[in-house]
Amino acid sequence: MKLLQRFYLVEVVSGLTLTAAHFFRNMGLHIAHALGRTDARGAVTIQYPEERRPYSPRLRSLHRLVRREDGSPRCVACMMCETVCPAHCIYIVAAEHPNPEIEKVPARFDIDLGKCVFCGYCVEACPEDAIRMDTGILEFSSYSRDGMIYTKETLLALEPAGADGRPTSPVPIPADRRP
Amino acid sequence: MPKLTINGQAVDVPAGTNLIEAARKIGVEVPHYCYHPALSIAGQCRLCMVDVEKTPRPTIACNTLAADGMAVWTETDRVKETRKSIMEFHLINHPLDCPVCDQAGECGLQIYYMKHGLYDPRMRDEKVHKPKAVPLGAHVILDAERCILCSRCVRFCDEVTGTGELGIFSRGDESEIGLFPGKELANKYSGNVVDICPVGALTDRDFRFAVRVWYLDSATSICPGCARGCNIEVHVNRRRPHHNDGRRVARLKPRFNADVNRWWICDDGRYGFAFVDDTSRLVIPRWSRDGALGDATWEEAIAAVAGALQRFAPDEIGVVASPKMANEDLWALRRILESRGIRRVAFRVPPRTPGDEDTLLIRRDKNPNSLGAELLGLEGDGAAILAAARARQVKCLWVFGHDLLASAWPVTETDAALRALELLIFTGPSANATSERAHFTLPAAAWVEREGTYTNFEGRVQRFRQAVQPLGQALPEWDILGRVLRALGVEAGATRAERWFRELASGVPAFTGLTYQSIGDGGAALSAPPGGGAAGSHLVSGHPPMGPGSRSPLP
């Protein structure tokens, strides 16, 4: 260690100078930006949640169940996703569909997001393209384990994300937080 | 004995054996759909083509009898190409609805496509549409689109049950399986058409959408529905408890046994397992103290029962054992009876409606182990015990499984007998009118929840194995009785069914020499079979038992 470095004060002051330089520079740029100077760009801070990073279209976000034209699920309860799921987080109960051409329909389709590892195997395995992970929704939290279970009705109501990757449907409220 | 070679391997087979069975004998699988060893030869599916030396074209193995000096090749390029083409032909109009098909996972088309097909589909036209999800009867549902017209089900109804409900209607690619007008698939063996259907055309209504087959675990077992003791497999769903409404036993499937049931099982047996997961099951020992019925621990219940057996004089105690109990249970019971000198014992309770019987499998006696109980010396007059109870000579009655109030005995007399008792003990898997009246109820494990052996009416000892854990606190009867025996101060070391059986085999002459190992999965005949053992010999066929190649999902 050099002699100057041994006096810590010198290094402390030089460090603080660097920090202060960035602080005042960014403050100036942000103020300029706020005043309408669009070419002025401060440090890359995204003002989440008002502002969002653009998501990749391949991002695996909250699942949704694709609907048929009549609004019923496209899912035929074949259990492929339930079978392939490495986290065992999908719970399907099959029922008879009134139309014998369709035959099978899920009476219950629950995903336990507390267990889900977002591997996307369910989407890969689905022979009907009935489950997708394209809602763009990443915010799901709950005060309880039960609240992490998303039911068929919730998953059916979700829409795909917009072209910019932003969610177009509201973030579902977990069952345990509903009024 | 024709001697032939198959794929260069020499094999000796009895005269009249076809090439599929000859190949099976040396572990070579010839793929086939329409051939079934129990049915006549149809030659419908054309899949079992093999090359026979000095014949110009591949030949169907099912309808070619083995001949001396024959040289058969099952895996030549020509055979493989033929199989592939025939698979493609079978699948031309087959809807690819495997995701919704209950057969998926155990389907002959899926298995053989992966093994012998794997072609690129060339079919561009619209597939022919046929009726889907048509119930044929109480147990079977038809999807005509999935059918490959192998005609196994038609031949089964014509040749095995002789009821002839099914036929093939229309021509060409419009051909479909259907019921003759005014008929319903309502014979007593209708469920078997589901088993022999190699595809998903005929599926089980009871099992429909219940569990996907790859979630099922299986245990070899014996049907407890009648004295025949059909060999079965119990398919249980342990891995996905939210499926099948939480019921653990999903279905029973017949298991081949040339000497008992061959490939079949009756519908009563096949669908007779519902009680296992029913709410009427007894799950916790209960006793009445101070006039109120309450839950007890096993220790309390066992001590109370042992105390009662000591408190009453041996002559005041009656025991109505059950022919639904396994040999091991009955032996443990016999040890108790001997140690206390109890003489009033019986096991037969006449049913209110006499059972039906036929020449195929179904026996009038709806109990799996009547002969076992007889051989263990538990025969006695049940009506006399009840009469003695009415006369207040019998004060304590121990009933196993039976509902005495639903028997052929007059209800008023039975009721009076139960009323006169000081103590009624009930042991059984399910609650009934008699258990409602009991002062002590000891919950017993159902047959799928435990190990044991039954002796069928021909004197064949057959072993059933545990498929699931006992419900609640239920215990196998041999365990309950063993604990009572120990509480009575008798040395009873056996803590496993197998050990009870070993004890039984050394104590009862008819069972001498039998062990769980010698019984195996096929059962073992008693050393002195009753009545010459000739009964039911119509079942023993000339068909050779499955050889080492029987791993094929299709018999």
Q: What is the pLDDT of residue B530?
A: 52
ipTM of the complex: 0.84
Report CA-CA distances (Å) from B379 to A22, B354, B370, B482: 100, 20, 9, 21
Q: Judge whether A39 lies within some domain.
A: no
Q: What is the pLDDT of residue B544?
A: 37
Query: For tokens 């009876």, what's the residue?
Result: B337
Looking at chain A, the whole-number percentage of residues with pLDDT higher than 70 is 99
Q: Tell me, yes or no, if A78 comes closer than 8 A to chain B by beta carbon.
A: yes
Distance CA B494, CA B501 (A): 9
Whether A119 and A173 share a structural domain = yes
User: Worst-scoring range by mean pLDDT, A10-14, A156-160, A165-169, B462-466?
Assistant: A165-169
Asked if A82 lies within 8 A of B240 by C-beta distance, the reply is yes
Distance CA B400, CA B441 (A): 10
Distance CA B109, CA B90 (A): 9
Strand pairing class (B317-320; B344-346): parallel
Looking at chain A, the whole-number percentage of residues with pLDDT higher than 90 is 59
Asked if A78 lies within 8 A of B133 by C-beta distance, the reply is no
Q: What is the pLDDT of residue B529?
A: 52
Asked if A91 lies within 8 A of B242 by C-beta distance, the reply is yes
Helix (H, G, I), strand (E, B) or coil at B524: strand
**Spatial contact of B221 and B236, defined as CB atoms under 8 Å apart:** no
Q: What rounded mean pLDDT belongs to chain A?
A: 90
Distance CA B136, CA B157 (A): 13
pTM: 0.88
Residues of chain B with pLDDT under 50: 531-553
- Domain extent at residue A29: 3-34
As for how many domains chain A has, the answer is: 2
* Chain A hits for B250, Cβ within 8 Å: none
- Interfacial residues of B (vs A; Cβ cutoff 8 Å): 97-100, 104, 131-133, 208-209, 212, 214-215, 240, 242-243
Distance CA B188, CA B358 (A): 10
Whether A83 and A171 share a structural domain = yes
Q: What is the pLDDT of residue B4?
A: 95
Q: Tell me, yes or no, if A77 comes closer than 8 A to chain B by beta carbon.
A: yes
Q: What is the pLDDT of residue B553?
A: 45
Q: How far is B214 from chain A (nearest CA, A)?
A: 9
Instruction: Identify the closest residue of chain A to B102 by CA–CA distance.
Output: A78
Q: How many CB pairs under 8 A join A and B?
A: 38
Asked if B100 lies within 8 A of A127 by C-beta distance, the reply is no
Whether A23 and A79 share a structural domain = no
Q: What is the pLDDT of residue B452?
A: 96
Q: Tell me, yes or no, if A96 comes closer than 8 A to chain B by beta carbon.
A: yes
Letter string b/e over residues B229-249, b meaning 16 or more CB atoms within 10 A of that residue's CB: bbbbbbbbbeebeebbeebbb
Q: Nearest CB to A104: which of B100, B131, B240?
A: B100
Instruction: Identify the closest residue of chain B to A101 by CA–CA distance.
Output: B132
Asked if A95 lies within 8 A of B212 by C-beta distance, the reply is no
* Torsional class of A120: left (φ above 0), alpha (ψ -120 to 50), beta (otherwise): left
Q: Nearest CB to B133: which of A78, A103, A108?
A: A103
Q: Tell me, yes or no, if A93 comes closer than 8 A to chain B by beta carbon.
A: yes
Helix (H, G, I), strand (E, B) or coil at B208: coil
DSSP B226: S
Q: Judge whether A47 lies within some domain.
A: no
Whether A93 and A153 share a structural domain = yes
CATH number for the domain running over B3-80? 3.10.20.740
Q: What is the pLDDT of residue B495?
A: 85
Q: What is the 3-state secondary structure (H, E, C) of chain A?
A: CCHHHHCHHHHHHHHHHHHHHHHHHHHHHHHHHHCCCCCCCCCCCCCCCCCCCCCCCCCCCCCEECECCCCCECCCCCCHHHHHCCCCCEEEEEEECCCCCCCEEEEEEEEECCCCCCCCHHHHHCCCCCEECCCCCCCCCCCCCHHHEECHHHHHCCCCCCCCCCCCCCCCCCHHHCC
Q: How far is A108 from chain B (nearest CA, A)?
A: 10
The two tokens of residue B434 are: 């008699």
CATH code 3.40.50.740 region(s) in chain B: 286-357+365-540
Q: What is the pLDDT of residue B488?
A: 94
Whether A80 and A152 share a structural domain = yes
The two tokens of residue B193 are: 């058409």
Q: Judge whether A56 lies within some domain.
A: no
Whether A28 and A79 share a structural domain = no
Residue B58 carries which side chain, given as an amino acid letter?
P
CATH fold of B99-277: Alpha-Beta Plaits (3.30.70)
Instruction: Identify the closest residue of chain B to A82 by CA–CA distance.
Output: B240
* Chain B hits for A80, Cβ within 8 Å: 99
The CATH architecture of the domain made up of B286-357+365-540 is 3-Layer(aba) Sandwich (3.40)
Asked if A104 lies within 8 A of B242 by C-beta distance, the reply is no
Whether A97 and A172 share a structural domain = yes
Letter string b/e over residues B266-292, b meaning 16 or more CB atoms within 10 A of that residue's CB: bbbbbbbbeebbeeebbebbbbbeeee
Asked if A128 lies within 8 A of B99 by C-beta distance, the reply is yes
* Chain A hits for B214, Cβ within 8 Å: 83
Whether A145 and A73 share a structural domain = yes
Whether A23 and A90 share a structural domain = no
Asked if B209 lies within 8 A of A80 by C-beta distance, the reply is no
Q: How does residue A179 score in pLDDT terms, banded at 50, 70 and 90?
A: low
Whether A158 and A103 share a structural domain = yes
